[in-house]
Amino acid sequence: MGRKNRNRQRAHNGHSRGFFWQGWGAGYSEIIKENKLFEHYYTELKIVPEGEFEEFMEAMREPLPATIRITGYKSHAKEILHTLKEKYFKEVQDLEVDGQKIEAPQPLSWYPDELAWHTNLSRKILRKSPLLEKFHQFLVSETESGNISRQEAVSMIPPLLLKIEPQHKILDMCAAPGSKTAQLIEMLHSDMDVPFPEGFVIANDVDNKRCYLLVHQAKRLNSPCIMVVNHDASSIPRLHLEQDGKKDVLFYDRILCDVPCSGDGTMRKNIDVWKKWTTSNSLHLHGLQTRIAVRGVEQLAVGGRMVYSTCSLNPIEDEAVIAALLEKSEGALELADASADLPGLKYMPGITSWKVMTKEGQWFSDWSEVPTSRHTQIRPTMFPPTDPEKLANMKLERCMRILPHHQNTGGFFVAVLVKKAPMPWNRRYPKLFPSKVKKLGILYKTFANKAPFPSSDFSSVTVLHIDMKCSVCYSPPPPKKMKLFGFKEDPFVFLTEDDPIFPPIQAFYNLSPDFPKLNVLTRTHEGKKRHLYMVSKELRNVLLNNSERMKVINTGVKVWSRNTDGEQFGCAFRLAQEVGHMLFSLSPEMGSIVLRYLPDPQDLDAPQCPIDLCGWRGKTSIRAFVPRNERLHYLRMVGVEVFRDKQGKRKDGSTETQEGSTKDAAGLSQEADLLEQEGEETEQTGSESNTNDTEPVSSSCDGPTS
């Protein structure tokens, strides 16, 4: 396996096994959950209401409840919710383990449509009950299928506050590991009847390895409208789009700016923070957070929304950054009042007064008090504005700080910014291209040599030249040189309309004449094309006009895969499960097919949502091409529960009908084995070196365990 693929495999394994169980409250008893400096700092800042500090600290020491979110835009969401509520949650609420009654999972009151739930089940409890072990395996397999996401409750807030619509162009600046990105994609696809919405999500992360984890998260949702890029968020390049034959700057309608932070709001799950916490962490991060936020609002469209968020409670990383941003904007930005956007969410309003403390415990209330020796550590923007009128106009109380003891969550900070006008430095100094700068420089030298003006006029030309050099060419903040690092990715190669690969596909699948052939791409210049991918029209525009200024890790969703058996039927490409069922409805005599189940409203025991499987019809058989992680999901949809016992042996659960009769477990096992064999057929088709490909799977139908 090549180095690039090993890296991707590690990212995949880290997510599907270990990441899912992060924070389920196990194995940290040896770490003392105490930090006197932390308590002293937040007692002094008074971010916790009077009389609640002890309750706040007690909550911080308790394990964080596990929270799950059902993928809302998928047609199976209601079936998943029904299974959770009517099967697993009902079984859990009457269960006792070691004499302790299990607390039933509860929906998050502020999340729409009961699509997010939290539970206090720990790994230790799960191991003691076979019934709960089945629940665990259900969660893991459905997570891998993209139907459920394990996500911290407070992490779900920023995407909801962005108010995303299908036509929005969205930038996620610091996206890995990708749970919020997945939410953004879901909202973009809120209308399942529109497979290619006008909008798109560009998800960025500075860490090359974490980008592959981000790809794995996004890939589960099979969207043609997501692109993963690898840049420093504080200097992420400005992109261009071609519109009406001219290149325009790409401004985003929505930006998620979830910046790196000290993370003291995550103490309930990241236990190491207790012993590592110090005020210097926030002092070191404040500058980076401000630069990322500034770069974000520069690329935000006028009228657009940017959500700034951290998992820190520290005002140096929270209100101080927002205040600095508002002051720099000179009225171009304003804080939106989001108090009514999430009914039921409990939060504290932002504060307007705070102090700065060094790691030695020295306090400063104002920049004027900071000695010169500390100026490299403490900056003026870390303090609240001293002008009362300016401070009042900022409306910092519109920021939202979520405290752990109010709703049994982690700690979090979020602020919603609306852009009312271009940023002042963009407004004053329109950017000039180097060719124009060079001409102005030559013009200045001509003036200097010939001196055609009086000295007063000549001095004004000199000032113009200096202003041009400092502000026009290098509008603040100065852009950093883009660094390309990590693994070199395969190229993105768009097919032409007259590519010889299309005629057999066109004929076999009876493609519409207006099928967007130009949106089809591959990841190789040479040899046979193994897989064909598609992106939306808008993402194609971005890719074609920015190939030299951005590093793309992954984009597109697989539509066709080569199957050499198909050549005898006139087409060597079969539909891929990822997206083929969204585009085609066909029933040829031989070759690639779509197996479609339509719900019967009269049969309430049967799945009440459509099911589409891409498959292959041979001379004597029909087989479905279903990835391993999805096999368990579809078996479960038709009433077959497949799980592992503690010895690792697969067992087939049985389901009861309304009359109370039990289905034959042996028959279910045969069904599972059949689907397993069909799944193995998919592996024989091979795969390209591309992160969109289905990962190689074992011949077992068992779900992974942590």
Q: Give DSSP secondary structure letters for 475-531.
A: PSSPPPPP---SPPPPPPEEPPTT-TTHHHHHHHHT--TT--GGGEEES-SSS---E
What's the CA gap between 323 and 642, in Å, rounded? 54
Is 179 annotated for ligand binding?
yes
Which three-class secondary structure state does DSSP give residue 470? helix
Of 261, 311, 571, 614, the active-site residue reads: 311
What's the CA gap between 482 and 23, in Å, rounded? 36
Beta strand 493-494 pairing with 573-575: unpaired
What's the CA gap between 669 and 14, in Å, rounded? 30
User: CA distances (Å), 447 to each of 117, 437, 472, in order?
Assistant: 71, 15, 20
Is 178 annotated for ligand binding?
yes
Q: Which residues, listed in sequence order, are joined to residue 246 by a DSSP beta bridge?
A: 243
Is 232 annotated for ligand binding?
yes
- Determine what percent of the chain falls in helix, strand and coil, rounding each to the nearest 5: 40, 20, 45
Tell me, rounded to whole angstroms, the distance of Cα 573 from its chain centroid.
31
Tell me, rounded to whole angstroms, the distance of Cα 589 from its chain centroid.
41
Is 257 annotated for ligand binding?
no
Contact 508, 588 (CB under 8 A): yes
Nearest to 186 by CA among 128, 111, 293: 111
The residues, any chain, with a CB within 8 Å of residue 276's CB and separated by 6 or more, are: none
What's the CA gap between 79 and 181, in Å, rounded? 23
Contact 652, 669 (CB under 8 A): yes
Q: For residue 656, what is the DSSP state?
A: B
What's the CA gap between 186 and 159, in Å, rounded? 10
What's the CA gap between 188 and 636, in Å, rounded? 27
Helix residue ranges, H only, 252-402: 273-276, 279-298, 319-329, 388-394
Contact 352, 384 (CB under 8 A): yes
Residue 311 known to be catalytic: yes
What's the CA gap between 100 and 102, in Å, rounded? 6
User: CA distances (Å), 547 to each of 232, 237, 245, 493, in order?
Assistant: 17, 11, 18, 11
Is 180 annotated for ligand binding?
yes
Contact 68, 149 (CB under 8 A): yes
Lookup result for tokens 């409890």: 125
The residues, any chain, with a CB within 8 Å of residue 416's CB and separated by 6 or more, are: 161, 305, 306, 307, 335, 336, 338, 398
What's the CA gap between 375 and 379, in Å, rounded? 6
User: CA distances (Å), 436 to each of 344, 431, 439, in order?
Assistant: 55, 10, 5
Is 177 annotated for ligand binding?
yes
Catalytic positions are 311
- Known binding residues for S-adenosyl-L-methionine are 174-180, 205, 232, 258
- Known binding residues are 174-180, 205, 232, 258
